[in-house]
Chain A
Amino acid sequence: QVQLVESGGGLVKPGGSLRLSCAASGFTFSDYYMSWIRQAPGKGLEWVSYISSSSSYTNYADSVKGRFTISRDNAKNSLFLQMNSLRAEDTAVYYCAREGGDGYNLYYFDYWGQGTLVTVSS
């Protein structure tokens, strides 16, 4: 069965860095776009970044552009999010999610990990 397991969250001071990982199993990881989505405490879902199946394309929310970098290692079935210059407003549970769709007008996130909590505080 499809599994996504995030790790790497924790407490970090403002201005600090953190690298999140997502280990994928149960499907051909290299066939799928992947995204990071976050949820601040008591708030809604916010898409953060995506990466194409071969790493050719990446995109970021304006709120993290220039500070976060998404990457993947298809040989190790792993997704990453390097987070630099962290701010208090980056405090959230970070989920990795698999993207599905037809590449035209049908898109969705069909599998999500359980999330990893990032807390930015002094």
Chain B
Amino acid sequence: SSELTQDPAVSVALGQTVRITCQGDSLRSYYTSWYQQKPGQAPVLVIYGKNIRPSGIPDRFSGSSSGNTASLTITGAQAEDEADYYCNSRDNPWVFGGGTKLTVL
């Protein structure tokens, strides 16, 4: 199966914009989905498809994709956005990125 590569850790100042990226060959064929996971909790879907937010997800979360790279952008990061973020794609048959730990300073 293919792999999805994420930066292990990213930090952002409170109220600023941060981009979390995910790279992998499967992203050329399938849309990426993004999940937020806070300590001790189950993952929560935050973005899927062509920048679709499930009900209840703030509009500061957005997604984009180009070639083999997908991005999750948080515009105006809040303290409650501090979490681990995972990308995911359908590929033989499923693959997750290694996760990015987001710290809000």
Contact = CB atoms under 8 A, between A and B. Distances in A.
Interface in A26-55: 35, 37, 44-47, 50
A95 B99 contact: no
A33 to B, nearest CB: 10
Interface of B: 1, 29-31, 33, 35, 37, 41-45, 48-49, 54, 86, 88-90, 93-99
Kindly name the residue among B48, B97, B99 whose own CB sees the greatest number of chain A CB atoms within 10 A.
B48
Nearest to B86: A45
B97 to A, nearest CB: 7
Interface stretch (A16-24, A68-76, A80-88, A107-115): A107-115
Contact of B33 (A35, A46, A108, A111): A108
B30 A107 contact: yes
A12 B102 CA distance: 34
